[in-house]
Amino acid sequence: MSVLLGRGMAGAHITLIFTVEDQTEDPIEQGSLGAGFSLHDGIEAIARGIEGDFGLQVRFLDCDGDESLYREVLETLAFELPSTKNYAWEIAIRMALPTSQGFGMSAAGAVAAAAAFLRAMGEPHEESMRRSFFLAHRIERKRSSGLGDVTALSAGGVERRIRAGAPFSGELLDRGPGRADGWTEHTPVLLAWRKKSGKHTSIYINDPKWKQSISDAGNAQMASLSQGDWKSSRWNELIIGAEKFAEESGLLTDSERTGIIDIAKKSIDEISASDRLTPLLCMLGESVVIVPSNLDYDGSDFEKLNALLNEAGLNSKISRIGSLF
C-alpha cells in the first residue's frame, strides 16, 4: 500500500498598511495594495496520504485551529489535481502564533497545507510553491479571511504590494496579476496580543464604510511607498506610514486598539526605550508588533518588555522578520 508524506511551512504575516481591492468579480484579481512584513514564525504542516477513500483528518499539535480551512485546501487541490482523490489524508498542524489576531495565520496555514499535500504527491518544489500561493489566495478570498497576505508571503521579508491580485496564475503559474517586492534583514520584533480573539477580517473588508476609510488611508500612504526602489533604507518611512494609516483609517480607535497601543508604549517607556522601539498595530487583530528604528537592533530589550506586557495581561512572543521567498 502506497504511503505519501509531505511537509510545508509558511511564516506569519503582519499587515501594517492596506487597501481593499475587490471591485472585480474574479478572486484572482482581488487583493490589496499595502505594506508589512513576514515573520520567521508561522505554521508547519505535515501531510500523510494512504491509498483509500478520499477524506481528511486534521490534527492540531499544541494549538487550536479551524479544520474547515484545511479541508477547503484539500478539496480545492483535488479539483486541480484529481489524483489527490485516490488517498485518505491526514494533516498535522503546528502553529507558533494564534489565529484571528492580525498575524495572517489563515494565509500561512493555507500555503503550508497546500505545499504539504503537493509535496506528498511528488510535485516539483517550484511548481508546488507557486500552486500553493495560487490556491491559498483563492481560498482566502472565498472565505473573506484575507486580501493581500498570500501575495505578501510570496515576496517575503519586508514587503510592499504594488499591484493587487494573486501572485501566480495561468496555466503555467507564471504570472500575477498581483505583484509584491521584498527585502529582509532578519531583524528581531516583539509581538503582543490580547488573550481574546479579534474581530474576523470580513467584518471590515466587507463593510462599505470601512472599505472606503481603509482604502483612502492606505492609498494616501502607498502613494509614496510605491515609488522608488524598495530597500532597507525605507524602514523608517514604513514605520511612519504605518502609524499614519492606523490613525487615518479609523482602525486605531476601533475595538479597543488604542488601549493595547497604550500598554505597549507604557511598557516601552518603563525600560526607557522609546527612542529605539515603536509599537505598531497589526491589521486586523487586537495586537501590536514592537519594531526597532535600527535594523541592526539585537533585541536586547525584549525579555524585559515581555515580562511587562505579560504583567499587563497581554500574551507576547519574540520573533524576527522572515526570509525572502
**Rounded average pLDDT over 133-145:** 96
Q: What residue spans define the domains of the chain?
A: 3-182, 188-320
Helix (H) or strand (E) holding 248, with range, is helix 235-248
Q: How far is CA 28 from CA 11, 25, 134, 201, 313, in A?
A: 22, 9, 8, 19, 40
Residue length of the chain: 325
- Are β-strands 188-193 and 158-163 bridged in parallel, bridged antiparallel, or unpaired? unpaired
- Are β-strands 87-95 and 55-60 bridged in parallel, bridged antiparallel, or unpaired? parallel
Render pLDDT for 270-301 as a digit per residue (tens, 0 to 9). Answer: 999 999 999 999 998 899 999 999 999 999 99
Give the global pTM.
0.96
**Rounded average pLDDT over 184-198:** 91
The number of CA neighbours under 13 Å toward the Cβ of 277 is 29
Q: Residue 228's CB: how many other CB atoms inside 10 A? A: 10
Task: Say what the pLDDT of residue 2 is.
Answer: 86
CATH class (in words) of the domain with range 3-182 = alpha beta
| φ/ψ (deg, to 5) at 31 | 160, -140
CATH number of 188-320: 3.30.70
DSSP H stretches of helix in 81-169: 105-120, 125-143, 149-155
